[in-house]
Each structure stands twice: as C-alpha cells, then as structure tokens.
C-alpha cells in the first residue's frame, strides 16, 4: 500500500511502530551479544536519540510543513482567543469599527465612482457628451459639447459607420405622475410619482441588456413620433407595484395623459446609463410629448441652429477594430460636416467661427454618465482619508492590547524559546493569531458596513431636496471584498507585527527567574515607551479628525449664515409651465399676468411676484451684451446673467434698490423696455457714471433686444451660497426679451406657509385647467437643499471625529490602567512611606495629560497642513481657524481627564499592604 | 542547539547516506535496522549510521519514489517495514555511483599530484 495516501495520523502511527520495531531489534542484537536486558534497552533508546525530535524531522520529510504549521497556528490562535474572551471581544470590536467604517465608505466610493455599468462589455462604451451634464440647455455652445440636440443625434446616427451602435437618453430624470390603471389585481387606480427616462430604440440592444421578463423595445419605436406607447419597467417597479406578478406584462399604465403598455422588465441589477439615477420606467424617446407636453424637443429648433434645445446624452459602443482615438477623430469630422451644412446664410460673418468651434469630446463610457461624480467625488475621497485615519487609531488600540497581553505571556514565550523554538516560528504564530483576530474583526466589520451604508444613503438622500435623489445599488462586489481583505491584512501587519517582534525578544533569564515582570523592570520599561508612543499617535490623529470635524461644522454654519441678499423667511416658490399648458408667446405672458393677479387676491399674503429663473431652482440665463458708453477691453467677454421678473419683485423678495426704482406695472407695456441691473453690473460697466437711463443691448445672434436702465439693485445669490455674483440684468417678465416657457412664482406669507398651499393650487387651476399640478417648495428648503453635500460631509466627519475620540480615550484608559497596574508595588511603597493619596492621583493624571499634550502638539501642525489641502471644500475660513483647534484641544483634554481619572483613582486607592505583597 | 547538530550531521551524510542506502537495497529489500547493520558491517565497522539520520533519509527517499515500503513479518516473527528499490531508484543509484566515482577520481588526482610534488 502506498504510504503517501495514508492520512497524517495514520502515518504518524506507522512511524511510531517502525521506530519501536527498530528499537526491539536493536535490543535483541545487544542481548544476543551479552548485554543485560535493561542495559540493552537503555543503550538502544539512547542511540535513537531524541525520539520526538526524530519523529518531527522524519515527518518533515513528508513535506507540507508550511501548511501544517499554518493549521496548527490557527488552531492554537483560536484557542488563545477563546480563552481570553474579554481581550478578544474588545480587540475584535475595535477592529470591526475601523475596518467596517473603511469598507462602508469604500463601497459607496466604489458604487459612485469606480464600478462599471452593469451592462455587457462596458469597456467598449464611449460617451460623446459630457457625462456630468444634466438638464437642458437652450442656446448654443462653443468648445466641447455638454449635451446634444435630438436632430444632431439623428444626423450622427444616420451618418456613422464607425460605431457598432449609438443611442441617446434624456439627461434628466423627471418625476412624473403615473396612474397604474383601475384593474383589480396589483394596485388599482393608484397614482404615484415615478421616475421616467426617455431613450432611443436601440438603447437596450446596444447596452446588451436582456429583459428579466417580457421583451425590450427596439429601433422600430424610433420611426414615428407618438407611435409606440410602450414601456419597459425596472425590476424594483415590478416587485413593489405588482409583486412580481407576470400578469403585469401587457397591462396599461397612464403616464400624464398618455396610456402606455408595459412590454418588458429590466434585469434586477440594471439601473440605466447614469450612476446615481434609477429610473422606474423607460419609454421610447419618440413619446417625448407625453413627458414634456407642449414642447417639441425632437425637431430642429425653428429659431435657428444657434438656438437649439440641447438635452440628451449620447453614448455609443465601439467597433472592435476602431479604437477610441480614431473613433473620436472620425466622429468629429462627421460632426463638423453637420455644423457646416447647418450654418450658412443665417449667420453673420463673425458667428460661424464660434459656431464651428464645437467639438465632441469622446470619452470612455464604462462608468456611464453620473450625477454624483461632480458633487460627491472630492468629498468621498476626503472621507476615505478620514476613515483611514480612524483605522490607524483602531490599530494602535489593538496593538496596545496585544502588547499588554504579550507581556502577560512573556513566560510562555521564554519557555518556548528556551526549548528550541525559532524566533521566526513564534513571530509567525503570533501573526497568525493577529490575522485570526483581524478576520474576526473584518467579518463583524463587513456586517457593520452594510448596515452603516444603508443608513448613510438614507442620510444623504434625506438631505437632498427630493427624497430618493441619490440612488445607488450597494451590492458588495469583488472589488469591495478585495479592498476589505487588503485592509484586514494591512491592519494585521500594523497591529500585529511590532508587538510580535517586541514580545519575542530573547531576553530570557530575567523573565524566567522572576515571578512578575514588573519588578525587574527591564522588559516592561522597554515596552512601555512603545505603548505610550502609540497613544501619542492616537491622540495626534484624533486631533486631526476633531479639527477636521470642527472645521466642517464651522464652515457649514458660515455657509448657512451667508447673506443671500434677500429675505428667505416664509417664502414659497412653485413653477408654472406655460408651454405644458398649451400657451404660446403672448398668450403665455397674459396667462402669467392673470395668475399673478389671482394669487395677489388671496387673503393672508404679504406679497406675491414672479420671475423666470426663480431662486435656487437650478435655472440660470445668460447672454452676450453691449453696454452704452462702455468700450470693452480687447479680449474682454461681454456677458451678463439675465432674469425676467414681474412687478414688485424686488420689494417682495426684500432686495434693496440702491438707485432709481424697481420694475413695476408700468414696465409691462412701456414702449421702451425698462430694466434693472445689479450692483456688480453697475460697478463693472458703469464705474463712475450714473447708469440710470443708459441702454443695454442683448446681442445674442438671432434675438437682439434693447432696454433702458431704470434702477440698480443689490446683489443676490441665485443658485449657490458659494457663488460669486455675476453682473446681472433684470428685464420685465410681462414685456419679455424672449419667450418664457416657464415662470416661477414667489409668494411671501405672514406665518406658516403651508396654510396657503391649497389656495395657491386653486388659483392655478382656476387660471387654466390645462396646467399641470404645481409643486410648492419653501425658500428655506431649497437653500438647505443646496447644502446637501456639505451637510453630508459635516455629519460624517463629525461622526468620525467622535469615533476617533472614543477609540483614543479607550486607548488612553488602557495604557494608563496598565501603567498603574504594573507600578502597583512602587505606588504601594510610596503610600506606605507617607505619600498623600491626592498626590498619587495627581501624578498619574499629570502623566495622562502629558501624553495628551504631546499628542496635541504633534497633531495640530498635521491638522493645519491637512486643512490647507481641503481648503476647497471649506467656506470662508482662514488658514488657521483657531476656533476649531481650540475646540479640539479642549475636548481632548476633557476626554483625557475622564479617561485617566479612573486609573488614577485606582492608583490612589491602592492599599499599601496589598501592594507590597503584590506579585 | 540540539537541532543544529542533527542538521549538520544529516547534511554531511545526506548525499552519501542516500547512496549507501540505495546500494544496500540493491541486494534485496530490508528494514531500517537491517540497513544500518548492513552498512556498519560492510564498512568494516567504520560507519555507524546514526538512527536520527537514517529514518529521515529513508522517508525522504520514499517521498522521491526511489524506494517503496511494505509491512512484512521479519525473521524474528515481528512486524517490520521493509524498503525495496524501485526502477527509478535503480537509475538514481547508477547516477549517484558514477558521480561518486568522478568525485573520488578528482580528489585522488589532486592528492596524487601533490604527493608527486612533495616527494624529493
């Protein structure tokens, strides 16, 4: 029988038997030669030598030593961990917090920024538009195109032979009212708000997405406008609204005023082409009218090629033999040809140069488009750094714990080294123990991370203006698990290696001789500085984190106190869309006027007005201008921001008029259009001149308009608290310079805004029943909504600061307890010789505070350096914000006092007699 | 310390011990004790094979598949593990023997020439 196939145990037994038989035979020979039986037995055994060593060396020849050692170490490690549940629990929990926090942030980072789209071969995809651009632009652009118009997409699609496929998708994700019909099964007749994405026919085919049920639509839906009222729904939609009932296929739902038939379901992990969005329903782009009624976004703009409506993202799949660079060059040739054929006599001499200077920046599209990259990219990376620091603190804590335990096991190690264990072998074993501990912590940490991530997303979403605005599928994937594994190994090295090296230092005789380590002092004293150094590092890192938290809290407070330039209290805003209601041109303006009159008649209002862009409503207008009496310098851009406002806008909003008057009723019909400029405009274009009466011309090609300045208003923040106010021109809404598709009403109430909501809705309905239902927002809510990223970062950095402080205080407590415990005899002697208890207490406390002081001294410069790096995220803070540093130092001092107090108290309570007898 | 000694002894003899074991088995299967006795006798009591080196060597040879083992009843009615040479072992033995030959010739060459030089 082949020896090799036997189990290890059997082989060991056989070896035993073999060696025994050897001894027996040797004894027989010796006896035959005349030795006595006992003498022969002794001689034979002696000749054999060290029996167990012999067996071990022989077993080595069987190979697999490395693996065996690992198993043995693991089993031994598990036993050690089980025998010390207190140590294991604390260490594992600390590690779980550190590793868990890192995994949580990384998995958000991964989902938001790193993961590829859940489609077939995402590396073959490219984006022709700007993946961070969303919404719609009306007008023209130079340079790299952010978004495209539908007619432009059609041209590219029909004239391209270099992509395997090209598709377009709406760059926004509107919330639309959906009625699930009134059949019995499922949810009958219920209306809800769903997110709808318009896409072209081969969207699913090019992405390579197969339906989970039913079928996807194809290029046949691109033929006729309004001809394919079919829809593909998301898996979540199917599950939540219909409980995965297959009868949903073929059912009709009503989106706004059009009925759609559900033909298919997308697979569960598919969320579309934009990271951060998760549409409920996909419908063909040719059905655009149903989603954006009253507008034609598919035909070329009748106002000329310089007044395009650009609103779609375009992506394509590369052909295998045409790489990205080549595809980019070639598609730009096609694009240029399109621009040239579109331009022509409709433009003056200067315009073509700007118009033809447009390009398609073709980028790799494996990550698709993103609503998160722009806003959350830097904050997430910053949070990763913070959370990495927390991990360092956690590792330092565990390292100290391991050191302390190692000291207790000194004798065990000394013994083992004395009987011949190699130092490397011991270190390997200790590292295996540490690895086990780390894996334990990592396992708990991953569970913690999953829970924390759900919480995190909820916090982030709540802070956003629209609940559910941030949609991320946090499915742990290989990359996240790989990251966790890497972090676990790293933490093991960090907290396991140094203690292992220290604890196995061969200084054996004092250890073996003495009953306690503390008395002889040598090994302890050498180890203590390491423990203290670790605590100092912990304190330093805590300082950095606390300072960071403090800075963000401070920055956020400053941001929310920024003077908007107008009064945000008790102000309601809602948008009314004239084109959606079927109004065009002057009829729209008249409708706005009527509605304003009706609203002003509502009792209990302090004021009501209307404007085109509203405030903090993600809307902005701008045009090139010419100013009377102002000669532009060479290469100076003559642009201004614009807005159209109704009468009494400035007084209703609380924007002070610095010169002249505000826009009033008389401007609705004046022959010469009156306009108001803001302070920045006056300072820049009328530096030493009275601007009243001067003329400004909007020089946008194809839509020139004139106006005369009648007043100067103070600056106001339009869309962001951080923005630098541009020069702005306010034109009368009721005598507009161009057609206003939509307008935003601002209504100021006396008290609780919500009491007026019903009256407002009624006013809108009475003015025109064709207008879609309005969504009412409060000004305060909108402004807060703009701070969602800042608040997110502030909350998290605050949480990490607290976590760091907690861990550091545990570390402090631990090291001081250990110090006190190891010095019990000294303290006892001192007390016995007459020292005051208070002195002992104070001395220990002093030591604690000294550690904290050193840590703070090290941490503050680090914090200052770090602040410099993240200045871009902070608002209005100087280089060294003393408040934050003071705050951090005070908090830490308090924490140190508390953490150090208990050990200090215990030290002072030491009974000298007990201490003197203490081993 | 003790372990070091073993290692050194094994290393010194490893090549030659393997050779002698294989050669001994050339003359028929034998158990460990028998091999050590055979080597002692054949070397004229000069080479006492240390048991601590013998068994590791035997197991190593078995792992290399140059010998194969079997439990049989020995001459004195006891169970013992008998080792025998495999075909691969035979080839290995021939190789080792020629290498040993070359080595002795080389050293001999050096010693003889030295002898010539020092002779008057």
> Residue A139 pLDDT more than 70?
yes
- Work out the minimum CA distance from B118 to partner chain A, whole angstroms: 43
- Quick one: pLDDT at residue B66? 92
> Taking residues A30-43, what's their average pLDDT?
84
φ/ψ of A877, rounded to 5, equals: -110, 145
Antiparallel, parallel or unpaired: β A621-627 and A695-698: antiparallel
pLDDT, residue A702, reads: 66
In whole angstroms, give the CA distance from residue A727 to residue A387.
42
What are the residues whose beta carbons fall under 8 Å from the beta carbon of A686, sequence distance 6 or more?
A: A627, A629, A630, A694
Average pLDDT over residues A250-271: 89
Parallel, antiparallel, or unpaired: how do β-strands A312-318 and A125-127 relate?
antiparallel
Backbone angles phi, psi at A292, to 5 degrees: -115, 80
Interchain pair B79, A17: CB under 8 A: yes
Nearest to B52 among A26, A49, A420 (CB): A49
Question: Quick check: A554 and A881 in contact, CB under 8 A?
Answer: yes
Task: Chain A: give the shortest CA distance to residue B36, in Å.
Answer: 10
**Residue A682, pLDDT score:** 92
- Tens of pLDDT, residues A16-26: 888 888 888 88
Mean pLDDT of all residues in B35-62: 86
User: Which residues of chain A neighbour B68 with C-beta distances below 8 Å?
Assistant: 2
Q: pLDDT class for A515, splitting at 50, 70, 90? A: very low
Return the SS3 of A97.
helix
**Helix (H) / strand (E) containing B69:** strand B67-73
Higher pLDDT, B13 or A34: A34
For chain A, what percent of residues have pLDDT higher than 70?
91
pLDDT digits (tens, 9 = 90+) for A775-803: 888 888 888 888 877 888 888 888 888 88
- DSSP per residue, A347-396: S-SSHHHHHH-EE---EE-TT-EESSHHHHHHHHHHHHHHHHHHHHHHHH
Confidence band (pLDDT; 50, 70, 90) for B3? very low
A429 Cα to chain B: minimum distance (Å): 20
CA of B26 vs chain A CAs: smallest distance (Å): 20
Section A52-68 average pLDDT: 78
Report the distance separating Cα A388 and Cα A795, nearest Å: 17
Closest CA to A783 of A617, A557, A610: A617
Chain A residues touching B51 at Cβ < 8 A: 22, 47-49, 54
> Cβ–Cβ of A19/B3 closer than 8 Å?
no
pLDDT over 70 (residue A346) = no
- Choose, out of B21, B38, B59, the residue to mutate when testing the contact with A (most A CBs < 10 Å): B59
Quick check: A21 and B76 CB within 8 A? Answer: no
CB A250 within 8 A of CB A259: no
Q: Determine the residue among B2, B36, B52 to mutate to test chain A binding: the one whose Cβ has the most chain A Cβ atoms within 10 Å.
A: B52
The number of C-beta contacts closer than 8 angstroms across A and B is 75
Q: How many CB atoms lie within 10 A of CB A767?
A: 20
Whether A245 contacts chain B with CB within 8 A: no
What is the mean pLDDT of the segment spanning A344-361? 69
Please determine, for residue A915, whether its predicted confidence score (pLDDT) is greater than 90. no
Q: Which residue has the tokens 């500085």?
A: A529
Number of CB atoms found within 10 A of residue A399's CB: 25
What would the mean pLDDT of A868-882 be, rounded to a whole number?
73
**Distance between CA atoms of A472 and A127, rounded to whole angstroms?**
21
Cβ contacts of B70 on chain A, cutoff 8 Å? 1
- Of B3, B37, B55, Cβ closest to residue A19: B55
Average of per-residue pLDDT across A33-41: 83
Strands A230-233 and A252-255 come out as unpaired
Task: Give the pLDDT band of residue B2 (cuts 50, 70, 90).
Answer: very low
Q: Within the 79-118 window of chain B, which residues sit less than 8 Å (CB to CB) from chain A?
A: 79-81
Average pLDDT for A431-457: 86
Q: Which two tokens stand for residue A114?
A: 């790193």
- Please check whether residue A16 touches B, CB under 8 A: no
Q: How far is A1 from chain B (nearest CA, A)?
A: 7
d(CA A624, CA B61): 92
Question: Of A385, A393, A377, A463, which Cα lies nearest the Cα of A802?
Answer: A393
Grade residue A466 by pLDDT with cuts at 50, 70 and 90: very low
Residues of A in contact with B37 (CB under 8 A): 29
pLDDT of amino acid A878:
64
E-strand stretches of A100-257: 125-127, 137-139, 143-144, 163-170, 175-179, 191-199, 213-214, 230-233, 252-255
Reply yes or no on whether the pLDDT at A5 is more than 70: no
Q: Distance between CA B72 and CA B81 in Å, rounded?
A: 6
What is the predicted pLDDT for the residue at A124? 92
pLDDT digits (tens, 9 = 90+) for A436-445: 888 888 889 8
* A647-661: burial string, b at 16+ Cβ within 10 Å, e else: bbbbebbbbebebbe
Does the beta-carbon distance from A54 to B2 stay under 8 Å? no
C-alpha angle A896-A899-A901 in degrees, rounded to nearest 5: 100
DSSP for A681-750 reads HHHHHSTTS--TT-EEEE--TT--EEEEEEEEE-----S-TTPPPPPEEEEETTS-SS--SEEEEEEEES
User: Which band of pLDDT confidence, cut at 50, 70 and 90, is reported for residue A670?
Assistant: confident
Query: Does residue A233 register a pLDDT over 90?
Result: yes
pLDDT of residue B88: 93
Q: What is the mean pLDDT of chain A?
A: 83
Q: Which residue from A minimizes the CA distance to B2?
A: A420
Give residue for tokens 């090609």.
Answer: A701
> Does the pLDDT value for residue A190 go beyond 80?
no
**Percent share of chain A, pLDDT over 90:** 18
Q: List the one residue out of A625, A584, A620, A611 whose CA is nearest residue A709.
A: A625
Q: Which H or E run contains B8?
A: helix B2-26
Q: Rounded distance, CA A173 to CA A312, Å?
A: 11
Contact A167, A218 (CB under 8 A): no
Q: Is the pLDDT of residue A628 over 60?
A: yes
Element at A641 (helix H, strand E) = strand A639-645
Nearest residue on chain A to B68, alpha-carbon basis: A2
pLDDT of residue B29: 92
Residue A527 distance to chain B (closest CA, Å): 28
d(CA A368, CA A207): 11
**What is the mean predicted confidence (pLDDT) over A578-604?**
86
Those residues whose C-beta lies under 8 Å from the C-beta of residue A392, and which sit 6 or more positions away, are: A494, A537, A541
Residue B8 has pLDDT above 50, yes or no: no
pLDDT of residue A533: 85
């Amino acid at each position: 029988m082949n020896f090799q196939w036997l189990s290890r145990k059997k082989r060991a037994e056989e070896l035993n038997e073999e060696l025994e038989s050897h001894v027996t035979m040797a004894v027989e020979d010796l006896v035959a030669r005349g030795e006595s039986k006992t003498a022969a037995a002794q001689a034979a055994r002696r000749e054999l030598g060290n029996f167990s060593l012999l067996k071990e060396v022989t077993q080595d020849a069987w190979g697999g030593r490395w693996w065996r050692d690992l198993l043995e170490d693991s089993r031994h490690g598990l036993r050690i961990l089980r025998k010390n549940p207190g140590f294991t629990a604390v260490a594992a929990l600390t590690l779980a917090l550190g590793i868990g926090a890192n995994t949580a942030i990384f998995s958000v980072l991964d989902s938001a920024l790193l993961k590829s789209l859940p489609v077939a071969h995402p590396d073959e995809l490219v984006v022709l538009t700007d993946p961070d651009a969303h919404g719609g632009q009306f007008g023209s652009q130079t340079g790299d195109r952010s978004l495209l118009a539908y007619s432009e997409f059609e041209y590219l699609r029909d004239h391209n032979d270099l992509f395997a496929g090209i598709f377009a998708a709406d760059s926004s994700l509107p919330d639309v009212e959906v009625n699930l019909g009134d059949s019995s099964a499922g949810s009958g007749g219920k209306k809800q708000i769903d997110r709808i994405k318009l896409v072209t026919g081969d969207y699913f085919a090019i992405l390579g997405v197969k339906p989970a049920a039913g079928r996807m639509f194809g290029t046949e839906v691109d033929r006729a406008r309004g001809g394919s009222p079919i829809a593909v729904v998301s898996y979540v939609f199917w599950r939540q609204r219909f409980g995965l009932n297959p009868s949903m296929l073929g059912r009709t739902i009503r989106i706004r005023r059009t009925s759609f038939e559900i033909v298919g379901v997308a697979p569960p992990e598919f969320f579309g082409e934009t990271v951060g969005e998760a549409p409920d329903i996909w419908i063909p782009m040719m059905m655009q009218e149903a989603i954006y009624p009253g507008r034609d976004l598919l035909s070329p703009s009748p106002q000329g090629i310089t007044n395009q409506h650009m609103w779609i993202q375009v992506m394509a799949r590369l052909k295998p033999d045409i790489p990205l660079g080549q595809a980019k060059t070639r598609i730009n040739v096609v694009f240029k040809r399109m621009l040239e054929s579109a331009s022509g006599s409709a433009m003056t001499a200067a315009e073509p140069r700007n118009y033809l200077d447009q390009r398609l920046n073709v980028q790799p599209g494996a990550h698709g488009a993103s609503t998160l990259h722009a806003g959350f990219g830097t904050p997430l990376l910053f949070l990763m750094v913070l959370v990495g620091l927390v991990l360092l603190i956690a590792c330092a804590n565990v390292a100290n714990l391991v050191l302390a335990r190692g000291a207790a096991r000194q004798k065990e190690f000394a013994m083992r080294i004395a009987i011949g264990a190699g130092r490397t072998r011991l270190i390997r074993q200790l590292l295996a123990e540490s690895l086990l501990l780390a894996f334990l912590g990592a396992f708990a940490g991953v569970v913690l991370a999953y829970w924390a991530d759900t919480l995190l997303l909820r916090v982030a979403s709540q802070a956003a203006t629209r609940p559910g605005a941030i949609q991320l599928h946090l499915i742990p994937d290989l990359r996240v698990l790989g990251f966790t594994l890497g972090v676990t190994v790293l933490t093991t090295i960090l907290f396991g290696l140094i203690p292992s090296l220290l604890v196995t230092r061969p200084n054996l005789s004092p250890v073996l001789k003495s009953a306690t380590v503390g008395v002889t002092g040598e090994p302890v004293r050498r180890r203590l500085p390491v423990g203290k150094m670790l605590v100092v590092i912990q304190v330093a890192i805590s300082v950095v984190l606390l300072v960071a938290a403090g800075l963000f809290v401070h920055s956020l407070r400053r941001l929310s106190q920024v003077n908007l330039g107008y009064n945000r209290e008790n102000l309601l805003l809602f948008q009314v869309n004239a084109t959606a209601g079927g109004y065009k041109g002057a009829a729209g303006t008249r409708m706005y006027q009527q509605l304003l009159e009706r609203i002003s008649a509502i009792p209990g209002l302090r004021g009501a007005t209307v404007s085109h862009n509203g405030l903090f409503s993600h809307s902005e207008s701008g045009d090139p201008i010419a100013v009377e009496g102002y000669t532009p310098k060479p290469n100076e851009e003559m642009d201004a921001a614009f807005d159209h406002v109704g009468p009494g806008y400035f007084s209703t909003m609380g924007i002070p008029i610095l010169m002249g008057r505000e826009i009033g009723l008389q401007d609705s019909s004046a022959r010469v259009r009156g306009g108001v400029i803001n302070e920045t405009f006056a300072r820049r274009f009328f530096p030493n001149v009275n601007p009243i009466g001067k003329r400004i011309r909007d020089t946008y090609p194809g839509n020139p308009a004139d106006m005369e300045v009648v007043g100067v208003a103070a600056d106001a923040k339009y869309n962001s608290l951080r923005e630098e106010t541009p020069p702005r021109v306010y034109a009368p809404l009721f005598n507009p310079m161009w057609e206003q598709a939509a307008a935003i009403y601002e209504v100021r109430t006396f008290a609780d805004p919500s009491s007026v909501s019903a009256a407002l809705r009624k006013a809108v309905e009475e003015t025109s029943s064709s207008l879609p239902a309005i969504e009412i927002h409060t000004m305060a809510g909108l402004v807060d909504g703009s701070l969602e990223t800042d608040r997110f970062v502030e909350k998290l950095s605050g949480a990490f600061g607290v976590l760091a402080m907690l861990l550091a205080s545990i570390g402090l407590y631990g090291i001081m307890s250990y110090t006190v415990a190891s010095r019990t005899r000294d303290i006892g002697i001192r007390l016995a010789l007459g020292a005051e208890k208070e002195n002992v207490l104070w001395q220990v406390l002093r030591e604690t505070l000294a550690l904290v002081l050193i840590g703070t001294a090290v941490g503050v410069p680090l914090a200052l350096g770090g602040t410099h790096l993240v200045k871009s995220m902070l608002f209005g803070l100087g280089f060294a914000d003393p408040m934050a540093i003071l705050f951090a130092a005070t908090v830490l001092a308090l924490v140190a006092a508390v953490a150090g107090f208990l050990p200090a108290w215990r030290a002072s309570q030491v009974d000298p007699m007990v201490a003197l007898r203490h081993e | 310390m003790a372990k070091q000694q073993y290692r050194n002894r094994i290393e010194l003899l490893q090549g030659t011990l393997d050779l002698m074991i294989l050669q001994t088995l050339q003359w028929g299967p034998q158990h460990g004790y028998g091999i050590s006795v055979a080597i002692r006798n054949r070397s004229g009591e000069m080479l006492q094979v240390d048991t601590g080196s013998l068994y590791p060597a035997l197991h190593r040879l078995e792992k290399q598949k140059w010998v194969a083992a079997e439990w049989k009843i020995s001459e004195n009615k006891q169970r013992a593990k008998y080792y025998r040479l495999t075909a691969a072992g035979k080839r290995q033995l021939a190789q080792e023997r020629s290498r040993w030959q070359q080595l002795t010739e080389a050293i001999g060459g050096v010693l003889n020439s030295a002898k010539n030089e020092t002779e008057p």
